Structure formats: C-alpha cells, structure tokens
Structure 1
Amino acid sequence: MKWPRTITPQHVQKLIRAERDVRKAVLIFDSATAEYSSGYRHDANTFSLIISRLLAANQFEPALHLLNRMRDENLDCPERVFVSFFKSYSRAHRPLDALRLFQKMREFNCSPSPISYVSVFDALVSENQMNLAHRFYRFMRKMGVSQNVVSINVLIKALCKSADTLDSALRVFRKMGDHGCVPDCYTYNTLINGLCSSGKVGEAEELMKEMGERNIEPTVVTYSCIIHGFCKAGQFDDAVKRLDEMNARGIEPNVVTFSSLIDGLCKSGRSLQGLELLGKMTSKRLAPNMITYSSLVSGLCQENKIQEALEILDRMKLQGWKPDAGLYKKVVAGLCDVHRFREAANFLDEMILSGVIPNRVTRGVHTSMQNMVVQGLCDKEDANRAFMVYQNMRALGISAEPRSCNALVDCLCKKGEVFKAAGVVSDLLDDGRAPDECTWNAIVSGFWGRRKVREAAELMQIELIKS
C-alpha cells in the first residue's frame, strides 16, 4: 500500500474502519507499521481498534500478540481493550482464558476497575464455572469492589443456575435496596427464568406481577421464560394464553417463544396445534430453527402422522438445516411403525450420503436404526433390499443383531438366495460370533432345498451305509 508522506493515526483508523475484511484491515495496520522508519507510530487507539476487529473474528492469538506489542512499545493499555478480551472470551466459551488475562492486567500497568471484575465474573457464570465464580466473587468483595446493579445481577444469575441456591438468589434480590440498587428488567428476567427452570412457575408469575407494580415493562424474554415454564409443567393452555397476552400487549414473540411452545405441544401429543403455531410463526416472518423443526418432526412421528412429519423434514432441509442421527431415527422408526420399510431404507441411504455417519456418540442410534429396517424388510420378505441394507451396515462397521441375522438368513433362503445367506453366516463367523440354532436350521434347510445338494447328500449317505 502506498502511503502519503505524512501519516496520522486518524488516517490509519479511518482506513481500518472502512475495510470490512479483517484480514485486509490487518494488512493496512501492518503496512502502516512499515512506515515506522519515517517517524510514524501507531497510538493506543489504533492498536485498540485493530484488536477489537480481531476479537470480533475470534482471532485471539494475533490480538494477544498486538496487546503485547502495545506494552513493548510503551503504550498505555486502556482497560476497554481488556474488557473486549473478556467479553470475546466469554462469547467463545473460554472463561478460563478471561481469568488468566485478568490476572496479568497489572503487567500492562492497567489496574482493573469494577467493570473488569464484573466482566470476568459474568464470563465464569455464563459458562457454568460456578466454583471459580463464587471464589472470584469473594475475591471481588475482598478487594473492595463496590456493589452495583450489574454485579448483583451477575450474582443472582450465578445463584439461579441451581435449584439449591435459588432461595439465596431471591434473598440477594430482596436486599438490593440495602446497597442502594434498584432491580431492573434483567434482574426480574433472570429470577423468572431460574424459577421456571426449577418448576416454580407460580412464583415466577408473582414476580411478573411485581414488575408491573414497579412500572417495569415485561419483555419478550419475560414471556418466553413464563411460556417455557408452563410447558415444562404441562400447563399448555396457560402457555397459549400467555402467547395471546403478548400479542394483546404489542410484544412480538420471537423464535425462542414459538419454539418453546411448539416443543411443549409436540411432546404432549398436540403436534397439530404445534403445526398451527408454525404457520403463525412464519406469517410473522420468523425463521424456524433446528429446535422448531426437530420438535415438530419428533411429535408428528410419535403420533403416527408420518406424512406431515416428512413434509416438515423436507421443509427443514430446504431451509438449510441438516437432520442429525437422532432425528433420522425418529423418522425411520415412524416409517417402520406404519410398515413403510423401503422408504425407511431410502432414508438410511440419504443419511449416509449427507454425511451423517456413525461416531462414538451416535453408533448406538445407527445400530438400532439399521437393525430395525433389516428386520422389517425381512418381515415383508423383501430379501434383496434387506441384504443391501445389511451390506451397508457392514461397510459402516455396524454389527447386525442376532435377530436381524436370523431373519435375513431365513428370508434369503426362502427366496433361494442361499449363497447370500451363507455369506451372512460367514460374516458372523469372521466376527467371532457363533450362529445360533435358528440360523443354522435356516441355512441347512435352504441348501437342502436345492436339488443337487440334496442328491449329493443322499448319495454320500448311501455310500456311508455300504461301507
């Protein structure tokens, strides 16, 4: 990049802000650095800007390198840079890195203020590092960090993580006034969510009423928590009423609100009502997420509404969502329940082609699905398709259950495919598993039914008698 004779930090910052690609923004920063020989120097604001761009892209190592450069070039490292690190580490689920960097702040001649303490505390709480979070909170108190609404809200969030400490959260909430703090909407939403998660939806409703008495307007988060609480308690009519109440108050439901209610309805055998809500959701131009679609497919399959489930699955895939092994199993099981085994086998093929293959976590799910389909196809005497599924199982390293092997050998022998049946028996022996009596009887009967084999055996029997 060609620079003018006179470069200013403001000029560099303007170029960095204008560049949307973070890699090119770094190139601008580095190109300006090459002009150090002309006397130009990046200031703290320029370093802070490029670090924030890197952190937004989760590029932590380059950002740390630049932070160290600030120290090496004797620049003051403002606290806002560290706070950006803490929040980015939290977003990336790396709270321990936030804690480690906090412990190094004084190496950069930066003394942490309550903002830094609360940011690290929040990162630990958000990622359920509760033992560390409680120890860090005690350290905050020991260092004389003053209490404010933000820090108390984080403490309440920590205490709401467990049903065992929920009462402590409520006590802290009731004593906020002693510290000169007034609860805000975030305080109430945190407590309402904790109560609903613990099945105390009645108490959550009381807090929601209290919000109104304090002129604190409930938000979509408030209602979403209440609706989720009612669904968890099986009070679906009450949940639907809260949705109607939201609309009456002009509070627009979001994807979480709809998904929670759809999931609850589907789990309670009311999947058609869930479908109606999906229609309302899309009419509001809200895009369903993986939870929305998975809940509907699972619920519809459970109620043997398999055609509707397949339509939702197609819609899900068109929206770019990829079914996982668990969802495929529900569809396959639903098809098997209505004896549509060939379609179930086709879904097994689709699953593998889309890259949903067995791993350490899902191997049991795949094994169950594949064996279910093999047995179903054998019951329908569809020997060739059953054998194809069996071969795919072998290629994926999935073991056929004894019942599947028995059914497949018997089915193949009945169709005259005795050599394929013998191959199945050979596979069992190769795996170190002994075929049971049913399998041996089926294979022997299959070969015995072939004329030349029977004639050869009878001739051998005669010769043995003569000798």
Structure 2
Amino acid sequence: MCVRWPRLLSPTHLSQLIRRQKNPLTALDLFNEAQTRYPSYRHNGPVYATMINILRSSGRIIEMKEVVNRMKEDLCPCRDSVIAGVIETYMDAGMVEDAISLFKSLPEFNCVNYTRSFHTLLEKLVRDSKLETCCQLFVEHCRGWEISSRMYSLNLLMDVLCRMRRSDLAIRVFQEMGNQWCDPGRETYRILMRGLCNDGRLSDATQLLFLMFGRISRKGCGADVSIYRMLLEALCDNGDVDEAVEILGKILRRGLRVPKRYFKQLDKTQFRVEDVKSLINEALIRGGVPSSDSYRAMAVDLYSEGNIVGGDNVLDEMREKGFRSSPQIFEAKIAALFAAGEVDRAVECVRNDMIENGCVPTVRVHNAVVKGLCDAGESARAVRYFGTMSKQVGIVPDRETYVYLVDGLCCDGDYAEASRVMDKMVMSSFWPSDEMYTKVIRGLCSTGKTFTAAVFLEEMIGQGKIPAASVWCSLVSSVVCREVLWKEVLFVTLRELEN
C-alpha cells in the first residue's frame, strides 16, 4: 500500500485519505494504521462517521460492527445520524436483533440525542411487519429524555395500530397526545381518519372531522381536502350518500369556509348515487377556496388510486386558475400511467405535459420514467431516455437511475449494454452492489463475453468484495465451453482439409 503520510496527521486529512481509497478494506487498514504511526493521534467523530459510511455503502457489515464497537470504547462523540445509518444497514440485512441491541446500548455511547435512531428503527420494524415488537419498543423508550421529538413516533405508533385493525387503541393514543405535550398535526389526523374508515367506525371518523375543524383547519387550507375526501368516500361506499352530502356542506362552511355565494352548488337534487363520488370531488375542488395545496392533494390522491381522468381534470382546473403544478403531481401521474400500461403517455407526460404546465422535471421524475420503462420490459428505450436525460442542464443521474437501468437490462438479457451502463455508474463514483456485479458477470459469461466478465470480476475484487461461488463457476464454465468449442471447430476444419 503506497500512501504518502504527512508529517502531522489531522482527523480531516485522514478522512480525505480514506475517502479516496477505492477498496474499503484498504481504507480500513489506513484507519487502523493511523494510531500506530502517530501515537498522539486520536480519531474523532467525523473520522469514525466517514469510515462507518464507507463500510456501510460497500456491504462490509462485520467490519462496520467492529468500528462501531471501537467508537463506543473510545467514548468518541457520535452523531445520531451515524447510528441511524448503522441501524438501517442492520435492518436491511435482516439483522433485527443486532439493530435492537445497538439501540438499547446507546446509553453506553457518547451520544446525547438519538431521536433519529429511534424513528429509523421503528420505521424499519413497521416495514418488516414486526408490529408487536415496534409497539413494545415504543412503550419502553418513548419517555426517554434522549428522544427530543415524540410526534413522529406517536404518528408511527398510531399507523401501526391502524394497520393491526386496532383503531380503538389509536384513538386512545390520540387522546393521550396532550399529556405528552404533543400537538396533533395534519398527518396525525390523516393516519387516524384512514384507520377509522378502514375499520368502518364512521361515527368516530365524523367526530374526528368536526374536532379537526376547530384545531388545525384554517381558512382556505387546501391540504386538508384529502382528509375530508377520505371520510366522504367511506360514507358513500357504506351507502350513506345523504349523510355524505350533508357533511360536505359542513366541510365547505366550517372546514374550507367558502363564501355563501358558492352554497348553491350543494343542492341535493344535483347528486346522483352512481356518480356521487365524482361530484363530491368536483365540489371540493371548485367549491373550496382555490390553492395549490388543495389541487396538489386532490391530484396526487386521484392518481394514486389509478383515477387518471379525475387527476387530469384537477390539473386542467389548476391551470385555468393560474396555479403552477408541482413535480410531485406528475410523479404520481407517471406511476399511474405505467400501472395502467400506457407507456407512451407516461413518457410524453415528461416531454410535453410538464412543460405545458410550467413544471421542470426533477431527477425523481426521470427515475420514475426509467423504472417504469424497465418494469415494462423496454430497457432499450430506457437507455435512450437516460441518454436524453443526462444531456439536460441541471439533471445529474443518481444511484437509483443506474440501479434501475442495470436491473432492467439484465432482466431483458442485454448484458452487454448492462455492462456499459455499469461502467458509467463507476465513473460517476456510484459503486455497484455485490448482487449487481454477480448478475452482470454471470450474464456476460452466459453470452460468451468472458473477457468483459473477467474485467468486472477483477474490479469487484479490487473493491474488497468477495465474489460468490456461482460467479467463479460461471466464469470457469464459460472458459471451458469456449475451449471445447474451439477444439471442435479445429477438428472439423482439419477433417475437411484432409478430405
């Protein structure tokens, strides 16, 4: 290892040194060697954070765990975000017990606040459907002074209870928020309203709506529209159309506080049972005070439900009123179009619709198109779209872009193009995962491109990754098959020459 060490080593210099290493194990060796070369030197928090993040991103979990333990023994100040990243890595690798054990041992670390670590652990437990463990962990640790904000964790607990079809317990959590010095926000009402409607507790949901009027609803607050709509549609699905229309009138008066000249739109004779939902949506859009928040909330909800026509109507209304659309709306629309199999419309949505609405596509929007094309089996088209996307000013493809492309090309069997995309990924300083290397190398071997596969294998080993046995088997099989083939060709050629 040829490294030019300075006369005096500072933590900043060491961080820069290990960050420049391509192989994470080489970076770890430099990290360990520093204190041997410089007896008076001590690692600080940023150096530990840099080393842990390098090992995390390369999948070196065992080595990362050792560095975390050293940080604990050194009593080095560490940031909450570093521990949250380690917990996330453990959970993604299926090491649930290690993640919980690390969180419970945080008092032994020199970390004064671990709110983000707590929230990350609860999020991942909910994602993995370990709901009982999540509830138990919340009860044990929610009152600790190290958790600076309980609002997010309380919302997460209510969401867990609602998923477990225990909205009755979620209501009790909601009622206890005042004792926890927490002020329920819009997301709290949205979670609880969804849970009550799914459980069929429409009477409690109606009372929650009236409570919402007095607490968080403000004049012209369009972000509340999606919550109102949740209850109204649940009442319609339950057959309580008249009650839904009556509550709609109260929403317009007390929630959105519409001027009286708009109340003529609430005549019950105008509503028909077969299309009452669309009429309610129209009343909420046109009857309320126009705002970008209300249009965005309605459009995203409709597109998320697959109602493309309804979402387009909201966009048209929004444009007529002079409001500018947001990338979030078009991201939802693109996902809905791909789900409906309308691939061409989804691509044209970015090229035409967004420009017509005065909205600039973001990397997230472009990634949604790339992912949709790859999922639809049109990875070659996704590569062409990627080329156009890369030429746009201000648009820099991120790691997700390359991951979607490589996965899509491998699924379509175009391993040669996948290898070229992965080359661009490495040149952009995004390191492929072990799984991605394995998939491309095995695919190249299956198509006879042994040399390219060997180059990627060498690059994989150079990054300190350990190839799976299947990778070696594929490479050996490809080489042997090529030798057998050449021998057969040579034998046939010699026999023809003899004849």
| TM score, norm. by length of structure 1 | 0.49
Q: Rg bigger for which structure?
A: 1
Q: Greater relative contact order (Cα 8 A, min sep 6): structure 1 or 2? A: 2
